[in-house]
Amino acid sequence: MANEAELKTPAPEAPGPVRLLRQIRDVMARKGDAQERLDSLVDIIAANLRAEVCSIYLRRSGGSLELCATEGLKAEAVHATRLNAGEGLVGWVAQTARPLSTISAQEHPAFSYRPETGEDAYQTFLGVPILRGGRLLGVLVVQSVEKRGYREDEIETLQTIAMVLAEVIASGDLLDTVALEGIELRPSRFETLQGRAFAGGIAIGTALVHKPHVGSTRLIADDPDAEEQRLRLALGQLQSDLDRWAERDARVGAGLTGEVFDTYRMFARDPAWTGKLFDAVRSGLTAEAAVERARNEQRARLTQTRDAFFSDRLHDLEDIANRTLRYLSGEDTQVELPENAILIARHIGPADLLEYGAGTLKGVALEEGSASGHAAIVARALGIPLVGRLDDALDRAEDGDVVILDGESGAIHLRPSDEVLESYTARVALRGKRQAEFARLRHRPSRTKDGQDAELMLNAGLLVDLPQMGATGADGMGLFRTEFQFMIAEQLPRLEAQIEVYSQVLDAARDKPVIFRTLDLGGDKILPYVSSERERNPALGWRAIRMSLDRKGLLRYQLRALMTASAGRELNVMFPMLATVGEYRAARALALKEFEWARSRGRPVPDKLNIGAMVETPAFAWALPSVMGETDFVSVGVNDLFQFFFAADRDHPRLTDRYDALDPYFLTMLARIRDICAEHGVPAGVCGEMSGRPLEAMALMGLGFRRLSMPPSGFGPVKAMALQLDVKSLAERLQEVIRSDNGSTREFLKEYAAQSNFSGLTHWQIG
Ligand code: PEP
Ligand code: MG
């Protein structure tokens, strides 16, 4: 912000910003040479702000800033003066993405003298960033001879002008100008962003930016009073909805305090935030543009902050701004998908992703995300590729860009050249062929080369997953995540609705086993109709079985639905996130009680009830021997077990690669679980994403696990591996490697796979 100490001499009253904005609009609407239009703009701005100098610096693709138009500096400096990021006051504004106002430019520590501009005569400097999203397009500067401080409202006005400039510039009609060659007005060239692949596959489609910009035609208000009224209405609606939701949750007694809403409500009422919006509208912007401007500034600051708490607050503000934009546009969250849409977002929750729907969405590209995060799980369930950890994806992609999303290498290619497009089209065709080969394996029994029977099962959670049973030839469903159904519903599913879903799942499995996991809510699995408490450590918080045992009604209700749906068949049910023997016993007792209750009343009950325990915490892995007499099966939830073993958040983008599931000590723990179960004759399986990766699945089989439950995309490669595996010989060698304490077993397994000459598995599948 402006240096307050320097705001000494008050300037004359600012001329009406509304008039200025209209003049800018008229200039931009003119046909003809872009340079001429930029020249007219600087004239108008200088005159309106009573400055001798007004200059526009635009960012070149290499990051330097080029003087592209000026009123007041020497004409020969235009397109000749370039400043590196961080160089001079202009570079400072660009680097910090903040305005800078000073009455003694030469004395500022960042000042850098450029004689060709003739700027030494001008002492007073005001520069503001030209931002779009979090991306810097350039810097707008006014300078004057007279030593005078710019008032806050003048700084605001210049920022507003910069925002309008940004949208107009990026909307594209300056693009084809020779004079502006090398200037990056909007991303238009082919570029590749490298991230991480979290759900496999390749998609070619059209970018749909999750939070698009306000179009340049909706920036300048025709009637500022009407805009003010619209903004007032939208903010009123935002506040009353937030109040209503908070109140409803309190009434329903969900027990989930509305802390999230409290934070939101605080922001929505914050006079600093709302005041800024009203100021922007009064200066001539539309209500949407005012919100967009505030959002741009937040986003630019977000890209610079390293502080997690501050960054969370900025995310909250961004959410509020997005919600306000939705009220203004009068539409709800539903977005029209272009054909073959590839969604580009910062982060997306599983519920939002499901809302975008299966079928039309071809892929997802995220700035954040992780392999075992639930967005990735949902993407795999939907059979669409997801690439995450793509820095700046939101700012590099524009709605409508052609995108290739490579869920194998973890890259996205924006606006690809014809050659790249052709080569990917060929790869998509090849993939289709390979998948057809895998599909041929689906009728083969899951038996290793040395004759050991395995059960390769499906992880599912939605009705859209069910056709995968036939498509993959799975030996059953090793994990049905029941909470997904709750997450996509508008309201808490009634008993009948739950019975209906579970019946359909059992029907789809025919006579193959299905293991239902009871509700695993909390963490990032949030119900849209129940506000959840924002916890400091949601993964370690009040979730899954903890919530179920504290709110028994919901669990009993679900158990009742499961029993009814399984009438006359077998029911396998297991509990998530157990940490103690007591929790398991309490949950098991509840299931048995529900069974007895139904039977004693002559209600339908399953022929056979098998109750299992999930091992997802190291605590429960240690407690396991104590429940051996009371459990019918065990399933290792390796996503969570991994996160708690290494104390590494499974959703944390920086930790995705930090620890290896093939770490010898992690494998030692898995081996111990498997040995305890084998000793007591209790069937033990592994569910979680690890089972669906051929190298990891090979390790699990080498440890003795025969039941692996995985996402559909894992079937082809894992089955191809299993059919060619001599599991006995692997087991012996694996034991040795684990004992040798030589770091990860990954290299050994890769070599083993290479020596065994596994066919049909390419490097990416095995590596
Ligand atoms: C797991 O943690 O491994 C698991 C299967 O459960 P979820 O991924 O749903 O947490
Ligand atoms: Mg889990």
DSSP assignments along 370-400, one per residue: -TTSHHHHHHHHHT--EEE--TTHHHH--TT
Our answer on whether the CB atom of 651 is closer than 6 Å to any ligand 1 atom is: no
pLDDT of 258 higher than 50: no
Tokens of 117: 């501009």
Q: Quick one: the chain helix, strand, coil %, rounded to 5? A: 50, 15, 35
Domains of the chain (ranges; CATH) run: 17-180 (3.30.450.40), 442-766 (3.20.20.60)
In this predicted structure, the answer to whether residue 352 has a pLDDT above a threshold of 90 is no
pLDDT for the residue 81? 92
Q: Active-site residue numbers?
A: 374, 687
Q: Buried b / exposed e across 665-693, counting CB within 10 Å, b at 16+? A: ebbebbbebbebbeeeebbbbbbbbbbbb
CA dist 229 to 223, 232, 535, Å? Answer: 10, 5, 37
* pLDDT for 743 beyond 70: yes
Phi, psi at residue 184, to the nearest 5°? -100, 85
**CA–CA separation, 368 vs 363, rounded Å?**
15
pLDDT at 57: 94
**What are the C-alpha distances in Å from 24 to residues 21, 130, 201, 227, 300?**
5, 15, 46, 19, 24
**Which range (158-162, 378-382, 497-501, 760-764) has the least confidence?**
760-764
Token pair listed for 293: 């401007």
Q: Is the pLDDT of residue 303 over 80?
A: no
Is pLDDT at 6 greater than 70 in this prediction?
no
User: Is pLDDT larger for residue 442 or for residue 538?
Assistant: 442
Please choose from 481, 524, 615, 649 the residue to mutate so as to test ligand 1's pocket, defined by most ligand atoms within 8 A of CB: 481
Which of 69, 97, 91 shows the shortest CA–CA distance to 395? 97
Provide mean pLDDT across the span 230-240: 87
Better-predicted residue by pLDDT, 64 or 448 = 448
Lowest pLDDT segment from 217-226, 304-313, 583-592: 304-313
**Is the pLDDT assigned to residue 357 strictly greater than 90?**
no
Produce one character per residue of 641-659: b if its CB has 16 or more CB atoms within 10 Å, e if not: bbbbbbeebbbebeebeeb
Q: Is 479 in the pocket of ligand 1 (CB under 6 A)?
A: yes
Cα 432 to averaged position of ligand 1 atoms, centre (Å): 29
pLDDT over 90 percentage in the chain: 45
Task: Tell me which of 647 and 149 has the higher pLDDT.
Answer: 647
Q: Counting atoms of ligand 1 from 1, which one is nearest the CA of 635?
A: 5
Range of 34-43, 110-119, 252-261, 400-409 with top mean pLDDT: 400-409
pLDDT of residue 331: 52
Please check the confidence at residue 580 and state whether its pLDDT lies above 80: yes
Q: Which mutation among 479, 487, 666 tests ligand 1's pocket best, with the greatest number of atoms within 8 A of CB?
A: 479
Beta carbon of 481 within 6 Å of any ligand 1 atom: yes
- Pairwise pLDDT comparison (520 vs 312), residue with the higher score: 520
CA distance 584 to 630: 9
- Residue 165: pLDDT band (50, 70, 90) is confident
CB of 455 shorter than 6 A to ligand 1 = no
CA 645 to ligand 1 center in whole angstroms: 14
As to burial, measured by CB atoms within 10 angstroms (0-12 exposed, 13-18 middle, 19+ buried), residue 634 is buried
Q: Is 640 in the pocket of ligand 1 (CB under 6 A)?
A: yes
- Top pLDDT among 589 and 551 is at 589
pLDDT at 742: 77
Give pLDDT, residue 296.
Answer: 77
Atom index in ligand 1 nearest the CA of residue 639 equals 3
Between CA 431 and CA 706 the distance in angstroms is 28
More confident residue, 4 or 742: 742
Cα–Cα distance between 247 and 605 in angstroms, integer?
Answer: 39
Q: Residue 485's closest CA among 523, 533, 518?
A: 518
Distance in Å, CA 616 to ligand 1 centroid = 8
What's the CA gap between 602 and 621, in Å, rounded?
Answer: 38
- The pLDDT tens digits for 423-457 are 899 888 888 888 888 888 999 999 999 999 999 99
Measured CA to CA, the distance from residue 414 to residue 191 in angstroms comes to 5
Q: How far is CA 33 from each of CA 81, 174, 176, 597, rounded to the nearest angstrom? A: 21, 8, 10, 82
Q: Does position 332 have pLDDT exceeding 50, yes or no? A: no
Q: Report, as an integer, the average pLDDT of 75-102.
A: 90
Residue 688 CB–ligand 1 contact under 6 Å: yes
Of ligand 1's listed atoms, the one at least distance from the Cα of 377 is 8
Q: Please give the model's pTM, rounded to 2 decimal places.
A: 0.64
- Is the C-beta atom of 685 inside 6 A of ligand 1? no
Q: Which phi and psi (to 5°) does residue 107 adopt?
A: -90, -5
The finding on whether 521 has its CB within 6 A of some atom of ligand 1 is no
pLDDT in tens, 12-43: 443 467 788 888 878 877 776 778 888 998 99
Ligand that comes closest to the CA of residue 710: 1
- Res. 739: pLDDT tops 60: yes
- Each residue of 395-433: pLDDT tens digit? 888 888 999 999 988 999 999 988 899 989 988 888 888
Which comes out higher in pLDDT, residue 209 or 307? Answer: 209
Instruction: Please determine, for residue 306, whether its predicted confidence score (pLDDT) is greater than 80.
Output: no
* pLDDT, averaged across the chain: 84
680-715 confidence digits (pLDDT tens): 999 999 999 999 999 999 999 999 999 999 988 889
More confident residue, 147 or 308: 147
Lowest mean pLDDT among 265-269, 620-624, 732-736, 737-741: 265-269
Pocket test for ligand 1, best of 639, 642, 686, 693 (most atoms within 8 A of CB): 639
